[in-house]
Structure 1
Amino acid sequence: MSDKPDLAEVTNFDKTKLKKTDTQEKNPLPSKETIEQEKAAS
């Protein structure tokens, strides 16, 4: 066996079979203003 993976399946993959999904950020990072307020509070 070689060290390289077989990419034949990847090159033949049909993207049109994929479903469209909407991603939502579950844990967004705080804004720069929020970080500055917390630094000033401590």
Structure 2
Amino acid sequence: MQHQRFLLPQPTANMSDKPNLEEVTSFDKTKLKKTETQEKNPLPSKETIEQEKQAGSS
């Protein structure tokens, strides 16, 4: 089996390659609102899994 080699273009250093961190460093965290995180798709408990196994095997 023969391997093929591909030449990838070498990246050039442009201004667009360097991210502008100005917005990040000057961001004011105090303006953020506090939110309550809720699990949208919680995992089933061990009891639920066992019940479904027993229901599926009968």
TM-score range, shorter chain: 0.5 to 0.7
Change (3 A) 1:31 1:4: farther
Cα distance in 1 between the residues matched to 2:20 and 2:50: 50
Counterpart position of 2:29? 15
Matches within 5 A, 1:3-42: 3-35=17-49, 38=52
Please list every run of 5 or more consecutive structure 2 residues that lacks an aligned counterpart in the other structure. 1-14
Identity %: 86
Gaps of 5+ in 1: none
Q: Give the alignment's TM-score, normalised by structure 1.
A: 0.65
Compare CA radii of gyration and give the structure with the larger one: 2
